[in-house]
Amino acid sequence: NPPVIVTSSGEVRYSFVCRKNPSVKINRARHDDSTSNLVWHVDGCEPQSSSAIAAFAGGSSYNPTKHRIAEDQELREIFYDLNNRVQHPSAMTVSRDVKEIFKISLENLAKILQLISRRILDFFTLAWMDVISFLGITVHWIRESKMETVILDFVK
């Protein structure tokens, strides 16, 4: 929900309402950019469990044919024009490297998320161009008073 904007004695303040407990509000001066109130709220608010990601996750898949662009002759010529010492990997090499990096990243992200007691899973859509729509899945958490975000998936 967008914050309610309140002006009092010439000072602009934002009032954020908790989605789970609408009676809980966090008030913040416009010039204040600390996250301490958010951290206190996250530590005290019990989120509702959700299984929405399980229903969606089945739609995500890996497709190695997307890496065939690595073997496109015209693209290789452009790369060569930009750097005549460029090395062109095959589509198979790109596919293998992407899978390897994904596996390592997944293992590291799992370790990080297991250490975080509160995390927020978020779905967002990009459909403003009305030509191609996208759905994104992100996870957010607060570590050492800083918000961190990772894109889990981005689906066309």
The identity of residue 89, as a single letter, is: P
- 10-68, pLDDT tens digit by residue? 888 888 888 777 778 888 887 777 777 777 777 767 655 554 445 445 444 556 677 88
Q: Determine the Cα angle at 37 with ends 50 and 41, to 5°.
A: 30
- By C-alpha distance, which of 145, 144, 138 is closest to 119? 138
Q: Determine the Cα angle at 8 with ends 7 and 12, to 5°.
A: 40
Residue partners of 91: CB distance under 8 A and separation at least 6: 64, 65, 67, 68, 69, 70, 71
- Percent of the residues in the chain that have a pLDDT greater than 70, as a whole number: 79
Domain boundaries, given as residue ranges, for the chain: 1-48
